[in-house]
């Protein structure tokens, strides 16, 4: 039996993977990990990156280490995909989200006369947004489409390609704004994600 | 030897200690990039109660061969909110030590049209050395340098640290 080959899931895509956004948000102060986790899950469900079926949510890893002196360390990996046009089988939006918290400790505080719980520690959220072209390799395995795939995508479907690039980039930026709105960090867009309805980090 | 397609300008450093409005500083940088037709993106945002670290990048395709990238790294230490009276009105500003690095890069052949074989590389070498040499040195690099100077002026205005003669 041959040894299994370990490779990156994008290794076969080459130029068919277009990286459109890569950023990280780091935060060290009081926040609620549970609320943030739930809010971002909601945002992704609302935007069509995941369904309400929790068992199908693409959380590929959740590692939690607890240390009474140092607090909790959590690693979470979400690998989300969205297929905007299932008929053409050509475009796929991928969002890779990594959470890492360090020294997370539960604290209690009084807010408007009520005792509330939150977390204090360091959080890092790293995001990479990719546009995948021909994600099922249907064109790459076709007898004659494989020869003209690049020409068709880069020349005849250029407008669509640019449209999908803008959508992926926009989604990544709005996700960043959603994280920053919850954490009450300065944002850039005129209309903030989660502005009115969703809670913000405590204390107000 | 591979043909040089990436040209880095000297790093511009702004250091300031005083009062400023953090939100306005970020928005001014964003507005400047957008007014100059750069694609703006924030690659890092680090928040601590008294410290901020933000990396932003602006990317502009000048033409089919030349592309500019301007990376701005902002670090603020000892940040705190202060209330000041300006023109008789009470305003909230921030006080702290600000360190801003601006790095400009010019990329040639960003569509990688000359990549592929040695013949094309040789053509590109000839093209750079004898056809567009003047444009690289005295037009595009100067233009990028001037744009960084303008951005520096805009940031200085936000920090209210204009020097004499500006």
The gap from C-alpha A161 to its chain's centroid, in whole angstroms, comes to 21
Query: How much of chain A, in percent, has pLDDT values that exceed 70?
Result: 92
pLDDT tens-place string over residues A13-30: 888 899 999 999 999 999
Average pLDDT across chain B, whole number? 91
Say if A161 is an interface residue toward chain B (CB within 8 Å): no
- Selected residue of A20, A101, A176, A188 to mutate for chain B interface (largest B Cβ count, 10 A): A188
Distance CA B24, CA B36 (A): 18
- Scan residues 44-73 of B and list those with Cβ closer than 8 Å to A: 44-49, 53
Question: What's the token pair of residue B20?
Answer: 């400023």
**Stretches in chain B below the pLDDT threshold 70:** 161-166
**pLDDT tier for residue A194 given thresholds of 50, 70 and 90:** low
Nearest by CB to B42, which of A23, A29, A183? A23
Contacts of B106 (CB under 8 A, 6+ apart): B6, B7, B9, B66, B67, B68, B69, B136, B140, B141, B144
Provide the pLDDT for residue B69.
Answer: 96
**Is A24 an 8 Å CB contact of chain B?**
yes
Residue tagged 């926040």 (tokens) = A31
Q: Is the pLDDT of residue A197 over 80?
A: no
Whole-structure pTM value: 0.86
pLDDT, tens digit, 9 for 90 and up, residues A88-116: 889 999 999 999 999 999 998 887 888 88
- Extract the tokens encoding A85: 């046009």
Rounded to an integer, what distance in angstroms lies between the CA atom of residue B65 and that of residue B114? 11
Cα–Cα distance, B88 to B91 (Å, whole number): 9
CA dist B22 and A167 (Å) reads: 29
């Amino acid at each position: 039996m041959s040894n299994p080959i370990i490779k990156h899931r994008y290794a076969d895509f080459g130029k068919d993977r277009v990286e459109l956004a890569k950023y990280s948000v780091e935060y060290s102060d009081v926040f609620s990990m549970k609320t943030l986790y739930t809010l971002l899950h909601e945002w992704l469900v609302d935007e069509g990156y995941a369904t309400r079926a929790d068992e199908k949510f693409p959380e590929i890893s959740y590692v939690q280490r607890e240390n009474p002196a140092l607090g909790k360390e959590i690693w979470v990996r979400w690998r989300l995909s969205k297929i905007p046009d299932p008929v053409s089988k050509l475009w796929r939006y991928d969002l890779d989200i990594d959470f890492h918290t360090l020294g997370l400790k539960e604290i209690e505080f009084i807010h408007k006369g009520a005792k509330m719980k939150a977390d204090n520690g360091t959080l890092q959220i790293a995001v990479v947004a990719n546009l995948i072209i021909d994600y099922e390799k249907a064109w790459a395995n076709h007898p004659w489409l494989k020869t003209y795939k690049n020409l068709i995508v880069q020349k005849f479907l250029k407008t669509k390609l640019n449209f999908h690039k803008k959508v992926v980039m926009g989604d990544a930026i709005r996700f960043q704004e959603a994280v920053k709105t919850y954490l009450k960090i300065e944002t850039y867009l005129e209309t903030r994600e989660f502005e009115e309805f969703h809670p913000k980090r405590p204390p107000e | 030897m591979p043909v040089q397609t990436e040209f880095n300008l000297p790093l511009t450093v702004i250091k300031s200690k005083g009062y400023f409005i953090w939100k306005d500083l970020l928005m001014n940088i964003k507005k400047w990039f957008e007014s100059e037709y750069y694609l703006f993106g924030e690659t890092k945002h680090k928040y601590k109660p008294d410290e901020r670290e933000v990396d932003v990048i602006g990317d502009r395709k000048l033409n089919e061969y030349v592309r500019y990238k301007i990376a701005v790294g902002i670090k603020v230490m000892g940040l705190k909110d202060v209330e000041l009276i300006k023109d008789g009105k009470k305003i909230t500003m921030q006080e702290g030590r600000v360190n801003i690095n601006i790095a400009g890069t010019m990329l040639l052949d960003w569509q990688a049209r000359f990549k592929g074989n040695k013949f094309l590389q040789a053509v590109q070498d000839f093209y750079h050395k004898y056809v567009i040499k003047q444009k690289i040195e005295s037009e595009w690099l100067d233009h990028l340098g001037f744009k960084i100077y303008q951005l520096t002026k805009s940031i200085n205005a936000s920090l209210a640290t204009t020097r004499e003669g500006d």
